[in-house]
Copies of this chain bind each other. A is one copy, B any other.
Amino acid sequence: MPQRQLSLNVFVFPGGHHEAAWRHPDSDPTRALDIGFYQDLARKAEAAKFDAVFFADGPALADNIRYAARFRLEPLTWLSALGAVTERIGLIGTASTTYYEPYNLARLFASLDHLSHGRAGWNIVTTSAAQAAQNFGLGEHPPHGDRYERAREFVEVVGKLWDSWADDAVLADAASGIYADTTRIHPIDHAGRHFRVRGPLNIPRTPQGRPVYVQAGASDDGRFFAAQYAEAIFTAHQTFASAQVFYADIKDRVAALGRRPEHVKILPGISPFIGSTQREAKALEAEFNALIQPEYSLTQLRNMTGLDLAGHDLDAPFPRHLIDTDTRFGVASRFKLIVDILDREKPTLRQLIQRLAGARGHYVFVGTPEQVADEIEHWFVNGAADGFNVMPPSLTGGLDAFIDHVLPILRRRGLFRTDYVGRTLRDHYGLPRPEVPSPAEVRASA
């Protein structure tokens, strides 16, 4: 049996993941809207044999656009333009089950899977930004539980649409004049609480059968959802211990549902500051932290905790008593993570801000290439990760450092591929291609 290897994505973010990265000479803010910049990144990531590029999304303007490049290019169009200039690397885009219609979303991802010859992945989110509701005629953001209930039905509908054509439905037989065997194309006739969708999809089945299901929820609802549907999970942990607990919990849940644990890749975020010595790495991080603007950071913190700390002394201890741990604001996973940092490290407000500036709550690791590789291996071999969503603090500088200095070490250790073996994202992740259920199975489950 071949050695188990890491799955590694590049999470692409304008400027880079450190909140002040766009101000640092390692990034070029003038190219943040230029597709050529992202195409260069995707080609570079493909040359380095990454599994996929990953794009976040949310259908609202962030309230901190004044201090950083926090616009949101639409991921499906953007990834299609990356797919056109690459051949192997996976293309994972985020899209919301709360603010899309399933028929439209099923088509967008099916087209991306066709045009990329099987490289599409859907990062399924329910959207945490309350501002989004106001862009879609909703007075209030739907509560967490309702969003997940809709998400479950949404994912079921989209899956049925992707399966509505058998793989062999297209005959294209010029002689007989039969283009498609319509006995192998079926309406889905879905009628549920949130959606009524007749189908079939108007696009033949895609190279991967279904694009890869990616998910990032960390709440109890989110974990249950992930265990049911996810094939890759993007998750935020500040410590090895926390990641290990999460990993075991998800794999247990997956097994309990009768799925194979190795068919769910758990990929924590990691944002590495890399230097040839640890001192150099720390100096690099300090350069970025010196560019932080507290107005920006405090807005971020308010979005994550509900606390407005404008005017507080940055160098005084963080006012822990103001946080009510029973109250959840914004993203549940980020809230818990911040409470954990407060209780463990007792930081000042400035220290907390710096801690979060690196990658919005994801794990920032500062060290030499050897230390970064050691940390990755440690998580990988000790049940905390199947790979990582790599979040370079700056783009492209931070990605270059990872490719040039960390990947060679991981390769020497046999932990990462030297070349692609397959062609699709499912191939890269080692996931099976879903079969279309037979009409009899569909009837039985109805």
Contact = CB atoms under 8 A, between A and B. Distances in A.
A329 B201 CA distance: 24
Contact of A103 (B59, B70, B73, B202): B59
A106 B20 CA distance: 28
A381 interface: no
B65 A180 contact: yes
A199 B137 CA distance: 11
Interface string A27-46: 00110110100010000000
B60 A172 contact: no
Contacts of A71: 202-204
Interface residues of A, number: 73
Contact of A200 (B61, B83, B107): B61
Interface in A1-44: 20, 22-24, 29-30, 32-33, 35, 39
A420 interface: no
A177 B78 CA distance: 27
Interface string A71-114: 11110111011111100000000000001110110011011101
Nearest to A185: B65
A354 B73 CA distance: 46
Contacts of A67: 177-179
Nearest to A138: B196
A69 interface: yes
Nearest to A59: B103
Contacts of A197: 134-137
B101 A177 contact: no
A418 interface: no
A115 interface: yes
B69 A103 contact: no
Contacts of A289: none
A80 B135 CA distance: 25
Interface in A38-56: 39
Contact of A22 (B80, B99, B136, B172): B172
A78 B179 contact: no
A198 B58 CA distance: 15
19 contacts: A20-B177, A22-B174, A23-B177, A33-B204, A35-B114, A39-B84, A60-B202, A66-B180, A67-B177, A67-B178, A67-B179, A72-B202, A74-B107, A74-B108, A77-B80, A80-B80, A80-B81, A131-B198, A137-B195
Given A61-B202, A76-B80, 15 more contacts: A22-B174, A32-B172, A39-B84, A61-B185, A61-B199, A67-B179, A72-B107, A74-B111, A74-B203, A78-B80, A80-B80, A101-B101, A103-B135, A135-B198, A137-B195
- Nearest first, the 8 closest Cβ-Cβ pairs linking A and B are A84-B84, A80-B80, A134-B198, A74-B111, A29-B172, A35-B115, A61-B202, A77-B111
